[in-house]
Amino acid sequence: MATVIRSLDALPSTMRGGAVSVGNFDGVHRGHAALAAELVRLAREVGGPAVVMTFDPPPVAILVPNRPPTPPLTTISRRAELLGGLGVDGLIAYPTDRTLLELTPEAFFQRILVQRLQIRAIVEGPNFRFGRDRAGDTALLAELCKQAKIRLSIVPPAVDEQGEMISSTRIRRLIAAGNIEEANRLLTQPYCIEGIVSKGAERGKRLGFPTANLEGIRCLMPAHGVYGGAVPLGDAWFPAAVHIGPNPTFDEQRSKVEVHVLDWEGDLYGHHLRCALLHRVREICKFDSIEALRAQLRQDIESVREGTRAGLQRLASIPAERL
């Protein structure tokens, strides 16, 4: 896991004098992986750490305070896990404020990157913008780096097998539409939701399918539906059926996240639970009877077992703390 630093005043000397990449890195997708690979390479060449600098909260939360917040694909801690798995040493989650946003591109480069981080190299994508009103671009960055004798690497945009650019915005649209399999194809690890298991109505238990009700989820929620997923418990991964949305059969309209872990028994109440989503099984629908619901749940379980088999094999090779 990459070390998380939330204040430049607390920046250790071990995180200075290396290579940095500035950006959101939300989701840590295949495009971010390309940036991270170049970042690590340059950091080793200049003999310093590989550091990613992001902003928490995102600048738009300060610039447009009345806009409803957009849930991220990944929390800061999740980004640190994923980036650490790619070889990144540190993740600076800069506490965004008006002072930072008022810095000109030249001031941001000199005061933050040169004076505070003491960078020797920087890695960005071709669309990188920085400074007040996003006025700085890669052409200006190249000029500033030349003057400061800092190495600069511009990494081309990552594209998928069809030639379409990979971006967090594209992945966010896919997840919001429930297209988990396509989103996972663009990510470095399967998309995860996580929260604290709370007490529910225990209706699933009475139906023969006990569920863990997740609360406090901070990342973007997929479209309502039933999904096949996987949950790490102890040293093993277990398949899981995940219900996201209301329960119309019981006239409940409040959206909930309920996770039924297959082949496992135990008490998860109060525990933090992470669930990797692997595929979509079906939409949410209302059933005419409890027996009809039970029959569908049995079919869902079989669909989950079949649909998660390949994903579970892949997850088994990934340490749970990295996923």
In this predicted structure, what is the pLDDT of residue 320?
54
Sign of CA dihedral 53, 1, 40, 189: negative
The residue type of 18 is G
User: Per the domain annotation, does 162 fall within a domain?
Assistant: no
Give the residue numbers marked as catalytic.
258
Q: How many domains does the chain have?
A: 2
Residues 134 and 261 in one domain: no
Residues 284-308: what's their mean pLDDT?
93
Arithmetic mean of pLDDT over the chain: 93
In this predicted structure, what is the pLDDT of residue 170?
97
* Unique residue bearing structure tokens 């929390």: 75
- Domain span at residue 133 reads 3-154
Residue from 90, 79, 93 nearest 322 by CA: 79
Which three-class secondary structure string do you get for 105-155?
HHHHHHHHHHHHCCCCEEEECCCCCECHHHCECHHHHHHHHHHHCCEEEEC
pTM of the predicted model as reported, rounded to 2 decimal places: 0.92
What confidence tens digit (pLDDT) does each residue in 160-174 have?
999 999 999 999 999
Residues 37-56: what's their mean pLDDT?
97
In this predicted structure, what is the pLDDT of residue 321?
52
Q: What is the CATH number of the domain that holds 245?
A: 2.40.30.30
Residue 322 has pLDDT above 60, yes or no: no
Residues 143 and 47 in one domain: yes
Residue 202 has pLDDT above 80, yes or no: no
End residue of a domain, out of 154, 177, 204: 154
* Unique residue bearing structure tokens 């204040």: 7
User: Per the domain annotation, does 181 fall within a domain?
Assistant: no
CA distance readout (Å), 301 to 31, 241, 282, 304:
34, 7, 12, 5
User: Per the domain annotation, does 160 fall within a domain?
Assistant: no
In this predicted structure, what is the pLDDT of residue 311?
87
Q: What is the CATH number of the domain that holds 120?
A: 3.40.50.620
User: Per the domain annotation, does 169 fall within a domain?
Assistant: no
Residues 230 and 112 in one domain: no
End residue of a domain, out of 154, 180, 212: 154
Q: With bands split at pLDDT 50, 70 and 90, how would you rate the model's confidence at 49?
A: very high
Residues 119 and 201 in one domain: no
Residues 52 and 108 in one domain: yes
User: Per the domain annotation, does 299 fall within a domain?
Assistant: yes
End residue of a domain, out of 154, 176, 208: 154
Residues 195 and 130 in one domain: no
Please calculate the CA angle 171-173-179 and round it to the nearest 5 degrees.
Answer: 80
